[in-house]
Amino acid sequence: MGGKFVTRFVLLRLRAHRLLLTAALLAVLLTASVLATLTAFSGSVGEAALRHTLDHRAAADAALVVRGEPEPEAREAAGLAVAEGARRTFGGLPVTVRTLPR
């Protein structure tokens, strides 16, 4: 019997303070909305940064110097071997091979 009295008392107090209850519920709803929006924004910024990094290879130029004196008939094969080694070394990035004869 005491439980019914407490429930009725709480409902009467809520009816008396409708504006305060509405303000509290609105504050909770607004806070939840802002947190959800910030979470979604944070995820989209992270995805955009990852896409930009993967789409635009921002690798700086690097030089790989290979010295040797192959025979004239072996120079082409040596150049191909150097190019293949450079591709493996730089993980598939574009490679340019220049031959500088002495």
List helix spans (H) across 1-102.
2-16, 18-55, 75-89
| Predicted TM-score (pTM) of this structure | 0.42
Q: Is-contact 79 97, C-beta < 8 A?
A: yes
Average pLDDT, integer, range 12-23 = 87
**pLDDT tens profile 45-97:** 988 888 887 777 666 777 888 888 888 888 889 889 998 988 888 887 788 88
